[in-house]
């Protein structure tokens, strides 16, 4: 609707008041005091009409025509903070007004004083940057941590190793076929367990670059399902081994090869014919291999330590739930530098909490207790025995930033307000953090906060110069009771511009 169209109902309303007052003046002699009231009412209505008229509405071209016509400056970029110099100075990239080039500045967190910053020259490391290898037909080409080897699969569904120094290729497996996939995930693992981000990759390097773990899939008994792709003019039909409810899943083996003997696979001690699932394996910092296993009912997760010489397994962790367990957890265990402990994330108590375990699988203590969800670790400060993390808790529609002691005795919310703190940049020793936050009525804003949760200053917001000049729809967050009455579910309502709650809309 155009601005002039919006004015019509207000003009009519104003005219109605004026006509009514004139008619009364003509028929009935009213007091001077009443004339003042009538004049005041007319002025108020005219002021409101003028205020609404000042708000611009978006044109069709602005909303739907890409690159057509000038776009309103509704938003602007936030400051570009790239890291920290030390615990009290952060690095900000700023553009020069003269030549537009970006330069780094060191900003004092306490005072805001900025000075040009030149990063120190890093010493050369023993690990080379790694070459760009143009290996024909290689899929998911992945360099080892020391950049001396590359692992990949080919369309024959076999796994290969490439020696960067000698430029020689070794075929690790030779039984790849339409139904046998080595290091390349079967569809159900790609879709439900390893995730689409894996791009079907099903092999993992050890930290010391000496071993490679991979999965072997046998899809022979998995039913085929035709999938139509609407690519090109006529599309194509693809037959995929796609298990539906109750169908056979692929038979899976988990194997390990040593780069010095790449053609000899050591198979882990599992029966591939069992009805089971395997999560992504976990390489520990000490180059031990842990394998995640789950039953078909998905209510029992076990983690096994694998003997790399024989493939025998030893149980480390056993979790049972009444419902089911998510096997596709991207980061289930985070190891501490001491090599003796790790932090496990689990929702076994109904919420996503953190637990401290020994490397032998013994529970030391629960770190967080409460209705935490969407929990992600930001940093572990082993020196001070605290952990920083983001999670939803007080309000399910927002993320907050927390600090907890590793012994589980203290949890502190460091973020502020009724905002969702979606990005947090913590200083090296936790003295400050920079948070990027917003809510349904607050454009994305960046602020500096000290290590105790005190707001120091706003660093920038994304509200552009034209933001207040345009009619923006009102957005409201409300709550609706779940059917069982146990939860207040968040609901976002976006109202049309110039919404009138007194009017009924017929569809």
What are the boundaries of each domain within the chain?
3-54, 80-116
Q: Is pLDDT of 9 > 70?
A: no
Tokens of 491: 């609901």
- At 410 the pLDDT is 97
Q: Is the pLDDT of residue 66 over 90?
A: no
Q: How far is 177 from 95, CA to CA, in rounded Å?
A: 55
**Which residue would you say has higher pLDDT here, 436 or 62?**
436
Question: Token pair 């596709």 is at which residue?
Answer: 328
457 neighbors 447 (Cβ within 8 angstroms): yes
Nearest alpha-carbon partner for 215 in 200, 226, 229, 227: 200
Mean pLDDT across 156-176: 97
pLDDT in tens, 430-471: 999 999 999 999 999 999 999 999 999 999 999 999 999 999
Q: Which residues contact 170 (CB under 8 A, 6 or more apart)?
A: 160, 161, 162, 163, 262, 263
Residue 487 confidence (pLDDT): 87
User: pLDDT value at position 127?
Assistant: 56
Residue 9 parent element (H or E)? helix 3-27
Token pair recorded at residue 227: 């999938």
Q: What are phi and psi of 12, to 5 degrees?
A: -65, -40
Q: In the chain, what are the helix, strand and coil shares in percent, each to the nearest 5?
A: 15, 40, 45
Q: Check whether 413 has a pLDDT greater than 60.
A: yes
Q: Mention every residue, 6+ apart, whose C-beta is less than 8 A from residue 274.
A: none
* Contact (CB, 8 A) for 341 and 359: yes
> Half-sphere exposure of 364 toward its Cβ, with a 13 Å CA cutoff?
18
505 against 442, higher pLDDT: 442
Q: What is the mean pLDDT of residues 34-59?
A: 52
Q: What is the mean pLDDT of residues 258-281?
A: 97
Q: Which of 451, 333, 448 is nearest to 384 (CA)?
A: 451
Confidence band of 8 (pLDDT split at 50, 70, 90): very low
Task: For residues 73-94, give the mean pLDDT.
Answer: 96
- Yes or no: say if 221 and 178 are a contact pair by the CB < 8 Å rule: no
Write out the DSSP string of 338-392. Answer: TSSEEEEEE-TTSS-EEEEEETTS-EEEES--SS-EEEEEEEEETTTTEEEEEEE
At 411, phi and psi to the nearest 5? -130, 130
pTM: 0.83
Check residue 66 and report its DSSP letter: T
Q: Can you tell me the distance from the alpha carbon of 109 to that of 87, in angstroms, rounded to the nearest whole number?
A: 9
* Widest pairwise Cα distance in the chain: 110
pLDDT tens profile 143-152: 999 999 999 9
Asked if 439 and 448 touch (Cβ cutoff 8 Å), the reply is: no
Instruction: Kindly state the average pLDDT of the residues 24-35.
Output: 38
| Tokens 């309103």, located at residue | 72
Three-class secondary structure of residue 248 per DSSP: coil
Q: What is d(CA 257, CA 478) in angstroms, rounded to the nearest whole number?
A: 55
d(CA 318, CA 299): 11
Q: Which pair of structure tokens corresponds to residue 359? A: 């490397």
Whether the pLDDT of residue 415 is over 50: the answer is yes
Q: CA angle, 47 as apex, 46 and 51 as ends, to 5°? A: 115
Residues present in the chain in total? 507
How does residue 354 score in pLDDT terms, banded at 50, 70 and 90?
Answer: very high
pLDDT of 68 reads 56
Average pLDDT, the chain: 88
**Residue 227: helix, strand or coil by DSSP?**
strand
**Measured between alpha carbons, how far is 298 from 249 in angstroms, rounded to an integer?**
13
């Amino acid at each position: 609707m155009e601005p002039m169209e919006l004015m019509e109902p207000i003009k009519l309303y104003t005219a109605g008041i004026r006509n009514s007052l004139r008619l009364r003046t003509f028929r009935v002699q009213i007091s001077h005091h009443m004339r003042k009231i009538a004049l005041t009412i007319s002025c108020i209505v005219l002021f409101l009409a003028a205020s609404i008229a000042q708000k611009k509405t978006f044109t069709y071209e602005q909303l739907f025509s890409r690159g057509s016509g000038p776009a309103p400056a509704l938003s602007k970029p936030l400051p570009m903070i790239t890291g920290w110099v030390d615990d009290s100075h952060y690095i900000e990239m700023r553009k020069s007004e003269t030549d537009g080039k970006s330069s780094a500045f060191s900003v004092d967190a306490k005072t805001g004083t900025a000075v040009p910053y030149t990063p120190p020259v890093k010493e050369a490391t023993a690990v080379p940057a790694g070459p760009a290898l143009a290996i024909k037909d290689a899929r998911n080409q992945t360099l080892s941590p020391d950049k001396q080897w590359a692992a990949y699969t080919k369309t024959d569904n076999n796994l290969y190793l490439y020696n960067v120094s000698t430029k020689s290729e070794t075929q690790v497996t030779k039984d790849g076929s339409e139904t046998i996939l080595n290091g390349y995930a079967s569809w159900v693992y790609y879709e439900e367990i390893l995730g689409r981000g894996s791009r079907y990759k099903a092999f993992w390097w050890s930290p010391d670059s000496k071993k490679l773990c991979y999965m072997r899939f046998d899809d022979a008994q998995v039913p085929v399902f035709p999938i139509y792709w609407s690519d090109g003019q006529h599309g194509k039909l693809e037959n995929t081994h796609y298990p539906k409810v109750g169908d056979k899943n692929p038979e899976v083996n988990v194997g390990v090869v040593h780069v010095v003997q790449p053609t000899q696979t050591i198979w882990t001690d599992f029966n591939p014919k069992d009805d089971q699932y395997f999560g992504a394996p976990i390489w520990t910092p000490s180059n031990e291999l842990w394998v995640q296993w789950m039953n078909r009912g998905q209510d029992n997760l076990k983690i096994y330590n694998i003997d790399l010489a024989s493939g025998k397994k030893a149980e480390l962790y056993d979790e049972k739930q009444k419902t089911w367990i998510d096997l596709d957890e991207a980061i289930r265990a985070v190891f501490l530098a001491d090599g003796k402990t790790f932090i496990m994330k689990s929702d076994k108590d109904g919420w996503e909490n953190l637990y401290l375990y020994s490397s032998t699988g013994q529970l030391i203590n629960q770190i967080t207790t409460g209705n935490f969800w969407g929990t992600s670790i930001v940093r572990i400060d082993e020196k001070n025995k605290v952990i920083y993390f983001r999670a939803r808790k007080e309000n399910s529609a927002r993320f907050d930033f927390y600090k907890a002691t590793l012994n589980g005795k203290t949890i502190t919310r460091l973020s502020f307000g009724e905002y969702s703190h979606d990005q947090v940049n913590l200083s090296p020793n936790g003295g400050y953090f920079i948070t990027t936050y917003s809510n349904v009525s607050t454009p994305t804003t960046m602020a500096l906060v000290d290590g105790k949760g005190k707001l120091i200053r706003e660093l920038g917001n994304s509200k552009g110069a034209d933001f207040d000049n345009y009619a923006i729809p009102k957005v409201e967050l409300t709550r609706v009771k779940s059917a069982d009455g146990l939860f207040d579910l968040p609901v976002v309502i976006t109202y049309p511009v110039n919404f009138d709650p007194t009017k009924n809309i017929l569809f």
